[in-house]
C-alpha cells in the first residue's frame, strides 16, 4: 500500500479540472497514481461552489469517490481560528478556509499540494509539509 498522504488543495483541483495546463494535468496524473489522495469536505464544497453546470457537479462527485474524504475533528475549526489569529497578529493574513486546510493536513499527517503561495507562510506557524506548484 502507498504510504504517501497528499492533501490536494482546491487551487490544484481547479486547474486540473479546467485542463488548461498540461503540466498540472500530467503532474496530477502521476501524483494520483503514486499516492493516497486526501480531500477535505471543505475542498469539495469549494469545488461544488465553482461548478457551472449539473454535469460539472456530477463529474466532481464521481471523481472524488476514488479518494479519501476527510472531515474535521472536534477541535479543527478552533485550531484554524487560532492559527489565523496568530498569523494576523504577526502581519500575515490568510483566509480561514486555508488555515482550516492546513490544520486538517496536520491532523492527518498529509503533505499539502497547492498553487497558493501563502501555505509557505503557514508553515512558519504550523508543522505541515507543503509541495508548492509553480504555474
One pLDDT digit (tens) per residue for the chain, 135 residues: 456 999 999 999 999 988 878 899 999 999 999 999 999 999 999 999 999 999 999 989 888 888 999 998 899 999 999 999 999 999 999 999 999 999 999 999 999 999 999 999 999 999 999 998 876
Task: Give the pLDDT of residue 65.
Answer: 84
3-state secondary structure labels for all residues of 67-127: CEEECCCCCHHHHHHHHHHHHHHCCCCCCHHHHHHHHHHHHCCCEEEECCCHHHHHCCCCC
Residue 62 lies in a domain: yes
Task: Give the pLDDT of residue 133.
Answer: 84
Residue 54 lies in a domain: yes
Nearest-CA neighbor of 63 among 98, 27, 16, 1?
Answer: 16
Residue 31 lies in a domain: yes
Residue 135 lies in a domain: no
Residue 106: give the domain boundaries.
5-129
Q: What is the CATH number of the domain that holds 19?
A: 3.40.50.1010
Distance CA 39, CA 69 (A): 5
Please state whether beta strands 36-40 and 68-70 pair in parallel, antiparallel, or not at all (unpaired).
parallel
Task: Give the pLDDT of residue 1.
Answer: 43
Distance CA 23, CA 15 (A): 10
Task: Give the pLDDT of residue 88.
Answer: 97
Total of domains in the chain: 1
Residue 116 lies in a domain: yes
Instruction: Return the number of other C-beta atoms located less than 10 Å from residue 108's C-beta.
Output: 14
State in Å, rounded, how far the first CA of the chain is from the last one. 31
Residue 134 lies in a domain: no
Please state whether beta strands 68-70 and 111-114 pair in parallel, antiparallel, or not at all (unpaired).
unpaired
Amino acid at each position: 500500500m502507498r504510504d504517501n498522504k497528499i492533501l490536494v488543495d482546491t487551487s490544484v483541483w481547479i486547474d486540473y479540472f479546467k485542463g488548461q495546463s498540461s503540466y498540472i494535468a500530467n503532474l496530477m496524473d502521476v501524483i494520483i497514481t503514486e499516492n493516497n489522495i486526501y480531500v477535505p469536505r471543505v475542498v469539495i464544497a469549494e469545488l461544488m461552489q465553482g461548478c457551472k453546470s449539473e454535469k460539472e457537479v456530477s463529474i466532481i462527485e464521481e471523481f472524488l469517490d476514488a479518494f479519501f474524504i476527510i472531515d474535521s475533528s472536534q477541535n479543527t475549526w478552533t485550531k484554524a481560528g487560532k492559527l489565523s489569529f496568530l498569523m494576523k497578529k504577526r502581519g500575515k493574513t490568510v483566509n480561514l478556509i486555508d488555515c482550516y486546510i492546513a490544520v486538517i493536513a496536520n491532523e492527518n499527517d498529509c503533505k499539502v499540494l497547492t498553487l497558493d503561495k501563502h501555505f509557505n507562510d503557514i508553515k512558519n506557524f504550523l508543522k505541515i509539509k507543503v509541495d508548492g506548484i509553480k504555474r
